[in-house]
Structure 1
Amino acid sequence: MADAPVGHTPLTRARVSHLDRSDVDLLGVRDHVAASWRRSLARGVDPATIANRYHPDLDLDSRLVRCAQPVIDRLAEQIADVPVCIALTDDHARLVVRRDTGRGIGLLADGNNFATGFGYGEGEVGTNGVGTVLESGESVHIVGAEHFVERLQGYACAGAPVRDPLTRRIEGVLDVSCRSEHSSPVLHSLVRSAAAQIQDALLHDRDAGQQALLDAWSRVDTRGRRAVLAVGGRTVLTNVLTQTLLEPGDLLALQDHMRFVMLRAPSTDDRVDLPSGTRVRLRGTVVTVGDSVAGMIGTVSVPQESTGDPTTVHPRSRSADPAPDAPGPAAGSRSPAWRTAWTAVTEALRESSTAVLVLGEPGSGRSRMLADVDRLLHGPGHVVPVRPEQVAAAPDAVADRIRCPDPVRLLVLSDVDRLPAGAVETLAAALDTARPADRPLRIAATASYDALGGPAYGALLDRFRWSATVPPLRNRSGDLPALAGALLAELAPQREIRLSPAALRRLTRHTWPGNVTELRDALAAALRRRPVGSIEPADLPESCQSAPRSSLRAVDQAERDAIVGALRDAGGNRVAAATALGLARSTLYRKIRLYGISD
């Protein structure tokens, strides 16, 4: 039984009129169907034929398919007496699962290219229970003559979106199709219920860390009207108030800041200056699962400093501008952690006698920050870098330079955590005797924040008066576009070279274990592929083509690079790449997911 609110004859007349004149009033046609007809006509869909494409390289073993399969099996049992096709598509309207309750309906579906691997988007086959769902974002029931393409007008289809329960992004569509005479409003209700069940399965198909973070966010969010933000390694949860309170760029910077802080302290209660100038109070607590950090849950407010009430959310306020004689905050960095470190280094290097330790991961820009701040304060050419191998080879000579300091030049001891204990003791002793009032000491050192330890290093740390911690590049995603542009200008001066938006997105997805040094190397490799013009994703090295969930061993990196190379040679065709690599297609799909390789 068809449940369309209008008879077929008025629908048919309305459709014919619409094909003759696109601006005709579609009286008696449901609003979402009329909107779909107009989109179909505007996109040039042929109403007389089905002209959809087959996609041979779909992932038929995805997380969506895995979570949906039991639900589809139950639904098929529930309506086993009705000849229907139950189909699941991905977010591009391409069928990844089809389950038939009868052989006859399956043969009819095959004849209409409604089969695994085929696309059923509106731009290909017009109004239908898959493509129209993706276009409208809502569930639909398309019956008989409501279909735009004539060959589908003998059918009815009920479709519902399957959304990610956290991001609310549509991950796919669940559709039930049958002959029009077998249609019933019950099918629409059943498909919506089944789609909700798939979403529930997606919610629970998460690792323990993601689930713990979700649970913590839910508990805090339900306590009251507060801006709540939860940040994990790959997950972000916000409520509406957080999105209202913060501009998009500020929200991204705060996420990066929380990822940086959560690995260094169990909690935080701090004022954070964001890129727009807004100062917020962040009170956060680390969420753990066993010995692992799952993320941080925090509440955000804009403090009303004048009343001393930091708990109330107020309209956006701007933090005070930096002093006119201060170097620009972190050379335009959008990272609160980087700006904080920059300010600390600036205060240290302003003094006539300086001893400052800058902590951070190798390649994160520790020495560059020292050099940039000193250049802005005292002019160029005053920084003297000393590498760890120089200290290890001649510790006494370096010690003599410390005992008799140059009051103008800044001596930077790089990676002191890599020095042998004997060299560290020599440097500590030299710092003890390098404090004559007439020869100000200007010295700095860099080290990894998780590598200092032991009595020798303790004695060395006692000699420093200032410290700052530089965040890694993965916690400075807002800085990446400007930083990449600056590095390209250094690598290819006077040359017309730029990153395409797609290449920049690819760079943003990477975790950068080698930090700025790795970014520079990646851009240098891209320049060898594309010396001038627009750098595209394919120009980037293999390491940038994936975003694995954890660090890779050397053998894993080699396998990842081989897969990326095969996909590149095959123009992205996974079937051809699997053949070239001698892998089963399912194995290739699994490896692509494992290494986070981009399409």
Structure 2
Amino acid sequence: MIEKSRREDAVRNARERLITEGLVRASIPASLVPEEIEQSWRRSVSHHVNPATGPHVLGDIDPDSAILRAAGRILDQWQDNLTDTRLALFLADEEGRIVSRRIIDAQDARTLDNAYAAEGFVFSEKALGTNGLGTPIEGRGVVFVLGTEHFNDALAQLACAGAPIKHPITGRIVGSLSIASHVDAASPLMVSMARQAGHQIAEALELMADSRNLELARTYRRFQSSRNPVLVMNSETVMTDLPALAHFDAEAHAYLWETLRRHQWEKDTVQLELPLLGTEAVIRRLGRPGQDAIFALEFTTPAGAASGRIESTRTLGDAKEPGLREVLNGLSSRKARTTTSYSALQNDISKAAATGGTIRVIGGPGVGKRHQSSKWLRQHTGREPGSFAANEFTTDPSAWARMEAVLNEGRGVIIDGSTMPEELLGRLIQFAGIARAGVHPGARVVLTQRTNGQAPHRGDDTPGLSGPVHVPSLVDVRDELPEIIREVSAEIFPGIQPPRFSPAALQCLFAWDWPGNVGELARLLAVLRHSTGDALVQTKDLPAAMHRASLPSFSRYEQSERDAIVSALAEAEGNKTRAAEILGIGRTTMWRKMRTLKIDADERVIRPGV
């Protein structure tokens, strides 16, 4: 007993010397305390922790947090197994805040309460110094803190064995577990028990995780040892280090994922140059094709140092689909790009107008031929142009006079000439070519023609016909979609911030074929403005058909399992716990299957193929 008291005094005095004399001058005998305790003391001193100050409370505890869901059953089992002991169990989150306390013997509650060892109080090392919950998080290892080895005086009567809880996917410390007892009842076995319990909670977190994200994590760890910045991604998740993070954002991920997924890969590895980023990227396709694929990007040497090597790299893809080189070069220039293909059209129309005659604008249905023509005419005349259909000039004799009156007013004219006969086109060209004294020079005639994806049969060298100016479809400029959304939104809602899309919603937009082109996009933005306002647009806010475009296909078994979960959720009115009970499965299993089968109970459930 005397020997124990002497050791406690020696430990307390050594800790006090470290506080009063400072980290440099004070020395602690190696035999007095373990190395991890001394290191923790020094960290505590450097953080200016006051050993007489108790812990503080940090907000409300989320009862549905991942660590509590993973640990609940395990803590129950340990509490049952420790029935005949005087041990207590503590679970802390990554902030060191106690989120669960299990007391085996009720008479220990007062002692623990006096030390503020209860739910909600923060036991991080920065707040309380060396202890069995905060030190495992800070030191990333198992620790045994005995009596006066605690930095805080209020914990001197406790012995605590603590273990960190490491997330199986990210490798990040997400919390800690501690087994505590009165210092007189301490046993080295507490260390093994804490280590085992912490490992069990980490395994439970792994079971809760989406199997696809587990595979992504394994892939990232495989390439993480590279000396170069690395990024791996699947359809929902990106894992990367900070140097690679500068290359990507949500828009880049959504577009690149869709492009790589759709691409017809001949080999599983390709090396490409990204000039504007000053780097090369080695892209590897891993995992199963389609929605379950994983792509790993390794950003390698500076572009200039390897330009000779890149010249021999064959561009994948064909004329209809951009090769991966073009895709990544386009992504690398996104931040530098100030205009889109649609905004550049205004310059193209101006160039066509400079040659005189009737301006010809062509493109598929819904691409915005009329919109782009009207925009140009308004900018050059300051007035709204007149509009005519080609058949008006064959069925209404007054149409020519009305068009002449519009031009004499200094306004432009747009003619929908998709069905214009050859002889009528000749007369229109002759009419538009007649000089009108005093008429605004911007008051021009613009002929729009639908191409249905093919060039019109008439040649481009018709005298008096300028152009053609081709308006691309939205799919042709898919890589510019985020910029086009902002541009179209600014036109239909001037002065209002454009809508913000979640990564998953943006991925749906990239995967969509846009049969209605820009007109369809404008209608969608108008609906979203009305339904979501300034809120972030989620997948649930998009039309159901867009959901289906980005969803994976399921096997017959997966589809039947999905239908059963959907029915249970409907019966439980969206309550996941109740739905799990209806199906006879655990809540953790329910969450995992919902993620795997793309079920979101907060949305109207999406059924592929419906």
For normalisation by structure 2, the TM-score amounts to 0.56
Alignment partner of 1:551 out of 523, 534, 540: 540
Residue 175 of structure 1 corresponds to: 178
Name structure 2 gaps, 5 residues minimum: 314-328, 353-358, 395-414, 434-441, 511-520, 544-574, 579-590, 592-599, 604-610
Q: For residue 550 of structure 2, what is the aligned residue in structure 1?
A: none
Structure 1 residues 42 and 429: alpha-carbon distance in aligned structure 2, compared to 1, 3 A threshold: closer
Task: Give the SS at the match of 2:144.
Answer: strand
Aligned counterparts of 1:53 and 1:236: Cα–Cα separation in 2:
34
Q: CA deviation at 1:428?
A: 7.3
Per-residue deviation at 1:47? 2.5
1:156 aligns with 2:159: yes
Q: Deviations over 1:437-489 (max 9, x none)?
A: 5444232335443xxxxxxxxxxxxxxxxx4432544xx9xx99x99xx99xx
Distance of 1:160 and 1:381 partners within structure 2: 72
Structure 1 equivalent of residue 468 of structure 2: 442
After TM superposition, give the deviation of residue 247 of structure 1 in Å.
4.3
Deviation (angstroms), 1:552: 4.2
Decide whether the 8 Å contact of 2:130 with 2:152 is kept in 1: yes
Q: Give matches, 1:218-237, under 5 Å.
A: 229-237=231-239
Structure 1: distance between partners of 2:19 and 2:216: 52
**What's the counterpart of residue 479 of structure 2?**
470
Does structure 1 conserve the Cα–Cα contact (< 8 Å) formed by 2:229 and 2:244?
A: no
Q: CA deviation at 1:144?
A: 1.0
Residues 176-191 of structure 1 mapped to structure 2, 5 A cutoff: 176-191=179-194
Question: 1:65 maps to which residue?
Answer: 68
Contact 2:90–2:178 (Cα < 8 Å) also in 1: yes
Q: Which residue of 1 aligns with 2:247?
A: 250
Partner residue in 2 for 1:17: 17
Partners of 1:90 and 1:171 lie apart in 2 by 6
Shift of 1:25: 0.7
Q: Does the 8 A contact of 1:216 with 1:287 survive in 2?
A: no
1:121 and 2:113 aligned: no
The alpha-carbon deviation at position 59 of structure 1 amounts to 0.8
For residue 63 of structure 1, report the CA deviation from its aligned partner.
Answer: 2.1
Q: How does 1:328-339 map to 2 (within 5 A)?
A: 333-334=334-335
Of stretches 508-517 and 152-161 in structure 1, the one that deviates more from structure 2 is: 508-517
Quote the Cα distance in structure 2 between the aligned partners of 1:507 and 1:9. 61
Checking the alignment, whether the CA contact within 8 Å between 1:341 and 1:469 is kept in structure 2 is no
CA distance in 2, matches of 1:137, 1:77: 28
| AA of the residue aligned to 2:57 | R
Change over 3 Å in CA distance of 1:54–1:308 after alignment to 2: closer
Larger radius of gyration: 2
User: Equivalents in 2 of 1:286, 1:394: separation in Å?
Assistant: 59
- Alignment partners' CA distance in 1, 2:297 and 2:284: 5
Is residue 331–residue 479 contact of structure 2 (8 Å, CA) maintained in 1?
A: no
In structure 1, the residue matched to 2:323 is none
Whole-angstrom distance in 2 between the partners of 1:270 and 1:348: 35
Q: How far 1:354 moved relative to its partner? A: 10
Cα distance change, pair 262–101 in 1 and its aligned pair in 2 (3 A): farther
CA distance in 1, matches of 2:346, 2:188: 69
Q: 1:412 Cα deviation (Å)?
A: 11
Q: Which secondary structure state, in structure 2, belongs to the residue aligned with residue 113 of structure 1?
A: coil
C-alpha distance in structure 1 between counterparts of 2:48 and 2:227, whole Å: 49
Does the aligned pair in 2 maintain the 1:354–1:441 contact within 8 Å?
yes
In 2, Cα distance between the equivalents of 1:216 and 1:356?
47
**Residues 187, 390 of structure 1: alpha-carbon distance in 2 compared, 3 angstrom cutoff:** farther
Asked if the contact 2:364/2:473 (under 8 Å) is kept, the reply is yes
Shift of 1:517: 8.9
Look up the SS of the partner of 2:190 in the other structure.
helix
Q: How far apart in 2 are the matches of 1:234 and 1:437?
A: 52
Q: Distance in 2 between matches of 1:147 and 1:155?
A: 8
Distance 1:201 1:335 in 2: 45
- Asked if structure 1 preserves the Cα contact closer than 8 Å seen for 2:362 and 2:450, the reply is no
Q: Give the secondary structure class of the aligned counterpart of 1:282.
A: strand
Per-residue Cα deviation, 1:413-450 (whole angstroms, up to 9, x for no partner): 8xxxxxxxxx967x77993336235444232335443x
Q: Is the 8 A contact 1:221 1:228 kept in 2?
A: yes
Q: Distance in 1 between matches of 2:350 and 2:148?
A: 78
CA 1:152–1:224 in 2, change beyond 3 Å: closer, same or farther? closer
Judge conservation of contact 1:262–1:295 (CA < 8 Å) in 2.
no
The amino acid that maps onto 2:457 is D
Q: What secondary structure sits across from 1:442 in the alignment?
A: strand
Q: Is the 8 A contact 1:399 1:430 kept in 2?
A: no
Deviation at 1:394, TM superposition (A): 9.5
The equivalent residue for 2:283 is: 282
Output one character per residue of 1:287-331: Cα deviation in whole Å (capped at 9) or x when no partner: 46xxx72453246466956457989xxxxxxxxxxxxxxxx9899
- Equivalent residue for 1:198, pick from 194, 198, 201: 201
TM-superposed CA distance for 1:81, in Å, is 4.2
Q: Structure 1, unaligned stretches of length 5 or more? A: 312-327, 414-422, 450-466, 493-497, 499-505, 526-539, 555-583
Is the 8 Å Cα contact of residues 158 and 177 (structure 1) preserved in structure 2?
yes
SS of 2:277's partner is coil
- Equivalent residues in 2 for 1:368-447 (5 A)? 397-399=415-417, 431-433=456-458, 435-438=460-463, 439-447=465-473
| Residues 95 and 117, structure 1, Cα contact 8 Å, conserved in 2 | yes
Question: 2:96 — aligned with what?
Answer: 93
User: 1:48 — aligned with what?
Assistant: 52
The 2-side partners of 1:335 and 1:114 are apart by 54
SS at match of 1:156: strand
- Cα pair distance change 1:126/1:330, threshold 3 Å: closer
The one-letter amino acid paired with 1:236 is V
What does residue range 255-404 of structure 1 map to in structure 2 within 5 Å? 255=253, 258-265=256-263, 267=265, 269=270, 271=272, 273=274, 275-284=276-285, 287=288, 293-298=291-296, 300=298, 306=308, 333-334=334-335, 397-399=415-417
The 3 A distance-change label for structure 1 pair 514 and 543 is: farther
In structure 1, how many angstroms separate the alpha carbons of the residues matched to 2:331 and 2:388? 29
| Displacement after TM superposition at 1:153 (Å) | 0.7
**8 A contact 2:271–2:280 mirrored in 1:** no
The alignment's C-alpha RMSD in Å is 6.3
* Pairwise CA distance, 1:154: 0.9
Deviations 1:82-135 (A, max 9, x none): 322212121122222222232233442233221222222234333212222333
2: CA distance, partners of 1:394 / 1:208: 63
Sequence identity of aligned pairs in percent?
Answer: 19
Q: In 2, Cα distance between the equivalents of 1:39 and 1:401?
A: 81
> What is the rounded CA distance, in whole Å, between the counterparts of 1:142 and 1:227 in structure 2?
39
Query: Residue 145 of structure 2 aligns with which residue?
Result: 142
Counterpart of 1:103 (choices 106, 114, 120) is 106
Deviation at 1:543, TM superposition (A): 1.9
